[in-house]
């Protein structure tokens, strides 16, 4: 079993134009910086991206938007990106806005092999339009389908050569469910260690879900809203 690849270019080499990708991260926290850069370099387009946010103008998925590589975004919040708004209003970009918990759970459903789930969020709103409603114990729920993604791309803090992943802080967010959901999952990690070095009690994503892993380089880990208090 050899899951370790040399770097981002090799990890994304077979992602074709038109693919559906899941990309981990919340805002800019925990995004797969190396793979995004490799996808920008590779120049694939017509992508459908499932990701909570769409980056900012000059970082994260914003870099892919700038190169017009994205056909459709499936996200819960996209408010930090002027180029995104421009493409959306001009009709160049298709967007499906999904409640954040529904987004997470539709990833989870895919990773757990469940075709669909019944969820509360969006009942009585435009999110419910066209969706099947079913009543359980007096309460209405929406039928929401599992996502179907060709590739999931996540970034973890540590990973081992077996593909086991450990995340740090709130950089975990959507990545575990996405890692479980992708047909092919690519993990870039800050620290790649030999099998046996990670505590099996503290693995967030078991290696069975990870097809390719590599140690990323030059992480910028940009902070979107640096907020501090006086000492």
Partner 1 sequence: MPLNKEQIAKRIAQELQDGFYVNLGIGIPTLVANYIPHGVDVVLQSENGLLGMGPFPFEGDGDPDLINAGKQTITTVPGSAFFDSAMSFGMIRAGKVDLTVLGAMEVADNGDIANWKIPNKMVKGMGGAMDLVAAAKNIIVAMQHTNPKGESKLLPKCTLPLTGVGCVKKIVSDLGVFDVTPDGFKCIEYAPGVTIDEIKAKTAGRLVIADNVKEMAV
Complex with partner 1: residue 16 or 112, whichever CB lies closer:
112
Residues paired with 49 in a beta bridge: 21, 73
Complex with partner 1: residue 68 or 221, whichever CB lies closer:
221
Q: How far is the CB of 10 from partner 1 (least distance, A)?
A: 26
Complex with partner 1: residue 1 or 126, whichever CB lies closer:
126
Residues 85 and 82: their CA atoms lie apart, in Å, by 5
By CB atoms closer than 10 A (0-12, 13-18, 19+), residue 22 is buried
CA 211 to chain centre: 16
3-state class (DSSP) for residue 124: coil
Q: How far is the CB of 219 from partner 1 (least distance, A)?
A: 9
Complex with partner 1: residue 178 or 186, whichever CB lies closer:
178
Nearest to 153 by CA among 8, 3, 2, 4: 8
Q: Are strands 184-193 and 151-160 parallel, antiparallel or unpaired?
A: parallel
- Binding segment (CB under 8 A) for partner 1, from list 1-9, 34-42, 85-93, 195-203: 85-93
Residues 88 and 8: their CA atoms lie apart, in Å, by 29
* 152 binding partner 1? (CB under 8 A): no
Considering CB under 8 A, how many residues would be counted as binding partner 1? 59
3-state class (DSSP) for residue 118: strand
Complex with partner 1: residue 44 or 78, whichever CB lies closer:
78
* 125 binding partner 1? (CB under 8 A): yes
Which one of 16, 18, 101, 115 is in contact with partner 1 (CB under 8 A)? 101
- Binding segment (CB under 8 A) for partner 1, from list 34-42, 43-51, 62-70, 79-87: 79-87
CB 79 within 8 A of CB 62: no
Element containing residue 160 per DSSP (H, E): strand 151-160
Binding site for partner 1 (CB under 8 A): 26-30, 52, 75-80, 85, 88-89, 95, 97, 99-105, 107-108, 119-127, 157, 167-177, 204, 221-231
């Amino acid at each position: 079993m050899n899951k370790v690849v040399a770097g981002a270019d090799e990890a994304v080499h077979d992602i074709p134009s038109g693919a559906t990708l899941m990309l981990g991260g919340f805002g800019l926290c925990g995004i797969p910086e190396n793979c995004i850069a490799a996808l920008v370099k590779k120049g694939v387009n017509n992508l459908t991206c499932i990701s909570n946010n769409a980056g900012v103008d000059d970082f994260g998925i914003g870099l892919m938007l700038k190169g017009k590589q994205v056909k459709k975004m499936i996200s819960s919040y996209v408010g930090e990106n002027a180029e995104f708004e421009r493409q959306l209003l001009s009709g160049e970009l298709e967007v499906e806005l999904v409640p954040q918990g529904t987004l997470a759970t539709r990833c989870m459903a895919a990773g757990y092999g469940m075709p669909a789930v019944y969820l509360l969020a969006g009942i009585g709103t435009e999110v419910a339009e066209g969706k099947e409603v079913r009543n359980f114990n007096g309460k209405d729920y929406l039928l929401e389908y599992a996502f179907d993604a060709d590739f999931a791309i996540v970034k973890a803090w540590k990973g081992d050569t077996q593909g086991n992943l450990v995340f740090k802080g709130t950089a975990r967010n959507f990545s575990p469910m996405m890692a479980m959901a992708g047909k092919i999952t690519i993990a870039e990690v800050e620290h790649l260690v030999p099998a046996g070095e990670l505590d099996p009690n503290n693995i967030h994503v078991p290696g069975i879900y990870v097809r390719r892993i590599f140690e990323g380089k030059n992480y910028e880990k940009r902070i979107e809203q640096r907020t501090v208090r006086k000492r």
